[in-house]
Amino acid sequence: MKKILVTGGAGYIGSHTVVALQEAGFQPVIVDNFSNSKESVLDGLRSILGAEVKSYHVDCNDKAAFRQVFEQEGDVAGVIHFAAFKAVGESVQKPLAYFQNNVGSLLVLLELMQEFKVNNLVFSSSCTVYGVPDALPVTEQTPTKPANSPYGRTKQMCEDILRDLSQAPGNEVKSILLRYFNPIGAHPSAKIGELPLGVPNNLVPFVTQTAAGWRQELTVYGVDYDTIDGSCVRDYIYVGDLARAHVVAVQRQLDGKAEDVEVFNVGTGNGNSVLEVVGAFEKVTGQPLKYRTGPRRAGDVPAIYADATKAAEVLGFRTEVGLEEALTTAWRWQQTLKNE
Ligand code: NAD
Ligand code: WQD
């Protein structure tokens, strides 16, 4: 069994990817400092997989501790690097923490990968690198725009670092940059899912918490955009589909098919408006959702969705789960949570 280190593997996307890796016959090993996740995620994983998943409580910025993981594990075939901070608003308040954690951890990881001759990396990038695109859908060739938050800049900087590294003489690390669109939903078992701390910034957790009575009402941020119904449009991808994209990317590297650096959009190829998400959620739950329309949220991109052709043609990756099914799993997961 090929061993894959999964940094941030206890987090939202990481935990679903751990399931997908194990189900595909890999041996995932989690490295997480639990700064934005709970150790109870490991119970959920054990319950889904019927086996213990190996996990290290380690900060990727702690090079000595992280080196011990490489030493102890020995034969690591590849790494998926999810570990990062991801709150756009917080990154404006604490830019240095974001650069330190997101850029710093990548540098530490790459140095250790070189030291231990681990040459395959899959990196979590984001559609945020496209900023406000000039044309839709966005392809991997769509020019990136200056980031409008320190968080977005960390993803652009990490992408640049990986491209520069690929040009360095003697470099052997190959990387696949996956630009995720908007991941939503949870494992169908409702044993793992998204764990937003405090008031969620993201749409779907806010919607499910409103339906659960934790929040009074959803505010739809802006209904005066030049879109189908005036609300913003996004490409909502089911987290289980997104997880599978990682398995396919890892496999491509292990098959020796990957180039030095490759970039893939990981989205459905479809855009949905905020009001369409609300409508789909109401359909799924059979109940009206309390919402009001409000002003635009600063920094929001009016509309963005992926051209998913490259991932389909090169990786053979296609999404399978639609918006309503994804929202069904998000709602099921919400109903397992306690309002702490
Ligand atoms: P998450 O916060 O749920 O998971 C990140 C995990 O990394 C957490 O378990 C956290 O404890 C861990 N972590 C953070 N810093 C660490 C460090 N220094 N050392 C060890 N562990 C550390 O976030 P997520 O939604 O699963 O996102 C995973 C990745 O995908 C991130 O890189 C994020 O930027 C990227 N991404 C997320 C989205 C999204 O909407 N969720 C979209 C695009 C890209
Ligand atoms: C989706 C839509 C909101 C909450 C963010 C990051 C991006 C990426 C994914 C990591 C928008 C609207 C939301 C609410 C609303 N993350 N909304 N009421 O903004 O597309 O992207 O997460 O890389 O970098 O910026 O996602 O879920 O916050 O918002 O009307 O209470 O829902 O305005 O149009 P977003 P989101």
The number of distinct structural domains making up the chain is: 1
Percent of the chain scored above 70 by pLDDT? 100
Q: How far apart are CA 112 and CA 140, in angstroms?
A: 29
Residue 148, pLDDT score = 86
Q: How far apart are CA 256 and CA 266, in angstroms?
A: 21
313 is a domain residue:
no
Pairing outcome for strands 218-221 and 291-294: parallel
65 is a domain residue:
yes
Which domain covers residue 158, as residue numbers?
A: 3-184+237-266
243 is a domain residue:
yes
Q: How far apart are CA 288 and CA 170, in angstroms?
A: 59
**Cross-strand partners of 76:** 3
Compute the C-alpha angle 314/318/322, nearest 5°.
Answer: 160
Q: Which one, of 29, 78, 20, 35, lies nearest residue 55 by Cα?
A: 29
CA dihedral 73, 76, 80, 85 (to 10 degrees): 30
Q: Ligand 2 pocket test: pick from 12, 129, 272, 274 the residue with the most ligand atoms within 8 Å of its Cβ.
A: 274
Q: Which residues of the chain have pLDDT under 70?
A: none
> pTM value?
0.99
Pocket lining: 274 vs ligand 2, CB cutoff 6 Å: yes
Q: Ligand 1 pocket test: pick from 29, 36, 203 the residue with the most ligand atoms within 8 Å of its Cβ.
A: 36
Please tell me which residue in 130, 151, 225, 236 is annotated as part of the active site.
151
Residue 197, pLDDT score = 87
Q: Are 264 and 314 in contact (CB under 8 A)?
A: yes
126 is a domain residue:
yes
CA of 203 to the centre of ligand 2 (A): 6
CA of 262 to the centre of ligand 1 (A): 21
Q: Is 151 a catalytic residue?
A: yes
Rounded to the nearest angstrom, the gap between the alpha carbon of residue 190 and the centroid of all alpha carbons in its chain is 18
104 is a domain residue:
yes
214 is a domain residue:
no
> Residue 152 maps to which CATH number?
3.40.50.720
Q: Which two tokens stand for residue 7?
A: 């940094």
98 is a domain residue:
yes
pLDDT tens for each residue of 254-294: 999 999 999 999 999 999 999 999 999 999 999 999 999 99
340 is a domain residue:
no
Point out the ligand 2 atom lying closest to the alpha carbon of residue 277.
32
